[in-house]
């Protein structure tokens, strides 16, 4: 397996790439959809990020430039994670701009393929990653993300995925007008329609679509249903189109947060499918409705056993740390990532599964 690092868009520069290579990553995942950086405050998940349609960070020139910048530091840019909210708000929400937005998404895939970025990680979600707070409760009082029955706040119109894509609508709606109710079945229909329409473009560009499960995996969040909040719903995802370009962004932490599963069985089952595009590896203590993220070697899950199962099943792709608790120091993001990447490398090395 290869060890990678996911890097927030604003941080992708020569220095951060060099840091990634120094700690032993050989590939990277770019998060262009967010303006957040490496500050601990950025991880406090403040609600009001802005998103603009046609964001130039999702165009060929920027993809190619980032690919080359990474290559110059000895790293392969393997995946882009998440579309900009404004580029697919009406695909998620089934709004009037849906057709136009689907065209844009297909163009993004074509541009990624042209820049030789083989994977697009995505999360088909209305509420996105929401409801967590930072708390000094990881080992040694390190700050970490905690989910503990947050007060459910409905989503104002003009916002999706924690990002404001229509400022006027958002300001008029705030506190009084919310996105239209949708059932779980309707959400699945929207996703199937999205997949059916986008797959030919993904095939043509040879870009694999990798679906992240819903984080946090609660059945409902902010009054909206969630798509993959149970591990067996990943079977539905794979069955919807038996095409290698329809694959999984396999988030071990999120899967472990789901009630009523045995994480080792879940890993064995999906590793055997051969359709894990790449792995998010992090640990967690507790499950929905109450859990917290932990250091790799400090939660409910034996992540070395998880890596061993992936290796036995022949998984050869990329593993990245996902999130990590923030150690107390001048550069908490860097320290957390360096710890996780080093730990994953050592674990894979011991298993004879590290590809350098």
Using CB under 5 A, list all residues that contact Mn ion: 251, 280, 322
Beta-strand relationship, 276-280 and 318-320: parallel
Give me the least distance between CB of 209 and Mn ion, in Å please: 16
Q: Are 292 and 138 in contact (CB under 8 A)?
A: yes
> With respect to Mn ion, which residue has the nearer C-beta, 282 or 334?
282
Residue 239: alpha-carbon gap to chain centroid: 21
Which C-beta is closer to Mn ion: that of 101 or that of 296?
296
**Under 8 Å between Cβ of 221 and 194:** no
Minimum distance, C-beta of residue 252 to Mn ion, in the bound complex (Å): 8
Closer of 321 and 332 to Mn ion (Cβ): 321
Quick one: 293 or 322, whose CB is closer to Mn ion?
322
Encoding tokens for residue 353?
């599964």
The number of C-alpha atoms within 13 Å of 189 and in the hemisphere containing its C-beta is: 7
CB 134 within 8 A of CB 144: yes
CB 214, min distance to Mn ion, A:
10
Q: 288 phi and psi, to 5 degrees?
A: -55, 130
Query: Closest distance between Mn ion and the C-beta of residue 75, in Å?
Result: 20
Residue 87 or 322 having the CB closest to Mn ion: 322
Nearer to Mn ion, 198 or 279 (CB): 279
Q: How far is the CB of 185 from Mn ion (least distance, A)?
A: 25
Closest approach of Mn ion to the CB of residue 277, in Å: 13
Coil, helix or strand for 335?
helix
User: Closer to Mn ion at the Cβ: 245 or 280?
Assistant: 280
Give the C-alpha separation, 41 to 102, whole Å.
Answer: 34
The minimum distance between CB 287 and Mn ion, in angstroms, equals 16
Q: Which single residue brings its beta carbon nearest to Mn ion?
A: 251
CB of 320 to Mn ion, least distance (A): 9
Contact by Cβ (8 Å): 325, 340 = no
What whole-number distance in Å separates Cα of residue 119 and Cα of residue 113? 9
CB contact at 8 A, 16 and 338: no
Measured at the alpha carbon of residue 89, what is the angle toward residues 85 and 91, in degrees to the nearest 5? Answer: 125
d(CA 170, CA 158): 4
H/E element, 160: strand 159-160
């Amino acid at each position: 397996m290869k060890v990678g690092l996911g890097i927030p868009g604003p941080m992708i520069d020569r220095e951060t790439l060099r840091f990634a290579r120094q700690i032993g990553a050989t590939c990277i995942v770019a998060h262009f959809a967010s303006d957040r950086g490496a500050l601990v405050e950025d991880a406090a998940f403040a609600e009001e990020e802005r998103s603009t349609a046609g964001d130039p960070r999702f165009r060929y020139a920027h993809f190619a430039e980032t690919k080359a910048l990474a290559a110059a530091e000895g790293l392969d840019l393997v995946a882009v994670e998440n579309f900009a909210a404004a580029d697919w708000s009406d695909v998620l929400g089934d709004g009037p701009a849906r057709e136009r937005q689907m065209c844009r998404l297909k163009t993004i895939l074509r541009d990624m393929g042209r820049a030789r970025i083989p994977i697009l990680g995505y999360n088909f979600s209305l509420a996105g990653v929401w409801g967590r707070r930072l708390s000094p409760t990881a080992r040694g009082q390190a700050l970490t993300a905690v989910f503990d029955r947050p007060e459910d706040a409905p989503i104002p119109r003009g916002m999706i995925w924690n990002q404001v894509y229509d400022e006027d609508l958002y300001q008029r709606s705030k506190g009084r007008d919310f996105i239209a109710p949708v059932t779980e079945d309707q959400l699945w229909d929207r996703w199937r329609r999205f997949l059916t329409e986008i797959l030919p473009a993904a095939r043509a560009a040879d870009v694999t679509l990798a679906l992240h499960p819903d984080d946090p995996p609660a059945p409902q969040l902010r009054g909206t249903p969630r798509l993959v909040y149970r591990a067996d719903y990943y079977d539905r995802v794979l069955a919807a189109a038996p095409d290698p370009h329809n694959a999984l962004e396999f988030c071990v932490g999120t899967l472990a947060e789901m009630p009523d599963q045995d994480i080792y069985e879940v890993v064995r089952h999906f590793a055997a499918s051969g359709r894990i595009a790449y792995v998010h590896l992090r640990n967690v203590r507790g499950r929905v409705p109450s859990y917290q993220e932990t250091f790799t070697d400090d939660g409910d899950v034996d992540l070395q056993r998880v890596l061993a199962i992936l290796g036995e099943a022949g998984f050869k792709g990329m593993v990245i740390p996902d999130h990590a608790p923030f150690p107390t120091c001048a550069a908490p993001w860097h320290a957390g990532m360096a710890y996780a990447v080093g730990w994953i490398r050592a674990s894979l090395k011991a298993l004879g599964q590290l590809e350098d």
